Amino acid sequence: MIGIINYGAGNIFSLTAALDRLSVSYGMVNTEADLDKYSHIIIPGVGHAGSAMEKLTATGLVNAIKALKKPVLGICVGMQLITEHSEEGDAKLLDIVPVKTKKFDKTLNIKIPHMGWNAVQHKNNSLFTSVDENEQFYFVHSYFIEYNPTFDIASANYGLKFSAAVQKDNFYGVQFHPEKSGRAGEQILKNFSNLS
């Protein structure tokens, strides 16, 4: 059963709608005690990484999240939160995956935010089981996770190569929105719910 961290910075409705379609049961994590009720944890997130981190800190859940040994998935800003630092608000984040969240540079001649469908090249990782190579996923972001082959499990190109998904131990992150990415995105959520 999936626990969704409820800290006021996530688009929970579209995520729960996707989990409903998959018949994956879930509940909300509001307190540290709630974390024990679930086998898998999702950190959703939209908007500003700095303010999202402030909201997460206000819940008192930060140390408990960092200590988790069960599978954890950060989505979009939730993925950025598991990195060490974001240029958005010059914010120190959870520092679980030692990579940085950076702003897309206007000199790359790209539209910011990066919004829409983009191909993703993934590695042989259980999060991407039964997902085609170069599958398209839906992105909405102005900041990206720097590419680091040690933690990268999927990359995308938009003016430059960046990490579309990362993993360190039991912590996973995806920059795209699986809940808005059709069949392939639902496969990601299903694969996550089956991780042991």
Catalytic residue annotation: 76, 177, 179
Strands 97-103 and 83-86: parallel
| CA pair distance 26, 6, nearest whole angstrom | 12
Q: How far are the Cα atoms of 2, 31, 140 from residue 83, in angstroms, in the given order?
A: 22, 22, 18
Phi-psi region of 65 (alpha: psi -120 to 50; beta: other; left: phi over 0): alpha
Closest by CA position to 189, among listed 11, 17, 5: 17
| CA pair distance 104, 145, nearest whole angstrom | 10
Closest by CA position to 178, among listed 93, 104, 78: 78
Find all residues with CB under 8 Å of 33, minimum gap 6, and list them.
Answer: none
DSSP H/E element including 42: strand 40-43
The amino acid at residue 146 is E
